[in-house]
């Protein structure tokens, strides 16, 4: 079945242009490449810098340090709790998702970060993974979101078999679901037992975090990310990576 699916996909695959005209906020098409880049920067800047809807819960920090073995070349960064500036720059890749692809909101963005993040993230992966619920399957080793898809399918079949009622509530999270107040992330890491030094390194990494949009094979000007950030790649053994970058999802 898998081979049949892959063969069908290859036969049905159609080439599509890498870049296409986009529309501004008023719905007018933009043909000039520099104006397109400016529009993508404007869109992602507004999307990723929204205000936090509520204050994070006050969680008391734990005083238990975890034994973490840190090896070069991160020793200096680890001791000084200061990360290089090039760690703080991400490249936003646009992924077409639905509908009119000339509208920016119909694309999703994936941020490519320095592979150095993998080194830092691996320091907390085991501690965080041990605290996550079994229901959390995304970005976890030997788990898949398809497992969660199978569960509601089985649940839906049961009422049909037993002629009973079923009520289902779907929560469709808005794009840029990583729009999280960073203070809540630091509190949660402490709650999981992550040492203060690791938390400080993460916090320093997010200070001055910025991103550039890749459009037409070129990078736009950088813009600051004040709130949005997700550590989903901390446990993503299967997440995409290249020789110079690793991916952290910035949208659902």
Residue 62 belongs to some domain of the structure? yes
How many Cα atoms occupy the beta-carbon half-sphere of 233 within 13 Å? Answer: 23
Per the listing, tokens 């989903």 go with: 232
pLDDT in tens, 216-225: 888 999 888 7
pTM of the model: 0.52
Residue 155 belongs to some domain of the structure? no
pLDDT in tens, 85-95: 878 888 989 88
pLDDT in tens, 107-163: 888 888 887 777 777 777 877 888 888 877 777 778 877 878 888 888 888 888 888
In order of 93, 207, 209, the CA distances from 226 in angstroms are: 19, 8, 7
Mean pLDDT of the chain: 75
Coil, strand or helix at 23:
strand
Q: pLDDT class for 227, splitting at 50, 70, 90?
A: low
pLDDT in tens, 153-196: 888 888 888 888 988 887 766 655 556 777 888 888 888 888 88
The pLDDT value given to residue 134: 80
Residue 149 belongs to some domain of the structure? no
Q: Which helix (H) or strand (E) holds 152?
A: helix 145-162
Q: 162 φ, ψ to 5°? A: -100, 5
Residue 98 belongs to some domain of the structure? yes
The pLDDT value given to residue 220: 92
Measuring CA to CA, which residue among 89, 112, 83 is closest to residue 203?
Answer: 83
- Residue 199 CB neighbour total at 10 angstroms: 19
Query: What percent of the chain clears pLDDT 70, i.e. is strictly above it?
Result: 71
Residue 153 belongs to some domain of the structure? no
- What's the total number of domains in the chain? 1
Residue 216 belongs to some domain of the structure? yes
CB distance 129 to 235 below 8 Å: yes
Range of the domain at 37: 2-136+176-249
Per the listing, tokens 């808005």 go with: 174
Q: What is the mean pLDDT of residues 199-212?
A: 84
Q: What is the mean pLDDT of residues 226-246?
A: 39
- Residue 138 CB neighbour total at 10 angstroms: 13
Residue 162 belongs to some domain of the structure? no
pLDDT in tens, 27-78: 888 888 899 999 999 998 888 887 766 666 566 766 666 666 656 556 777 7
């Amino acid at each position: 079945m898998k081979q049949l699916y892959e063969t069908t996909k290859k036969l049905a695959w159609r080439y599509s242009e890498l870049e296409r005209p986009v529309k501004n906020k008023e719905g007018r098409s933009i043909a000039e490449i520099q104006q397109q880049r400016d529009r993508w920067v404007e869109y992602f800047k507004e999307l990723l810098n929204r205000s936090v809807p509520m204050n994070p819960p006050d969680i008391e920090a734990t005083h238990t340090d975890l034994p973490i073995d840190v090896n070069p070349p991160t020793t200096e960064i680890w001791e000084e709790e200061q990360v290089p500036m090039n760690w703080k720059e991400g490249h936003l890749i646009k992924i077409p998702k639905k509908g009119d692809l000339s509208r920016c909101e119909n694309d999703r963005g994936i941020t490519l970060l320095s592979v150095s993040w993998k080194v830092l993230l691996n320091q907390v992966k085991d501690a965080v993974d041990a605290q996550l619920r079994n229901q959390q399957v995304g970005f976890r080793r030997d788990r898949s979101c398809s497992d969660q898809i199978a569960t509601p399918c089985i649940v839906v079949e049961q009422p049909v078999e037993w002629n009973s009622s079923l009520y289902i509530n779907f929560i469709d999270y808005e794009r840029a679901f990583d729009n999280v107040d960073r203070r809540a992330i630091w509190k949660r890491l402490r709650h999981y037992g992550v040492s203060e030094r690791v938390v400080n390194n993460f916090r320093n990494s997010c200070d001055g975090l910025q991103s550039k949009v890749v459009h037409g094979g070129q990078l736009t000007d950088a813009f600051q990310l004040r709130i949005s950030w997700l550590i989903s790649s901390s446990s993503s053994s299967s997440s995409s990576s290249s020789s110079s970058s690793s991916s952290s999802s910035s949208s659902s």
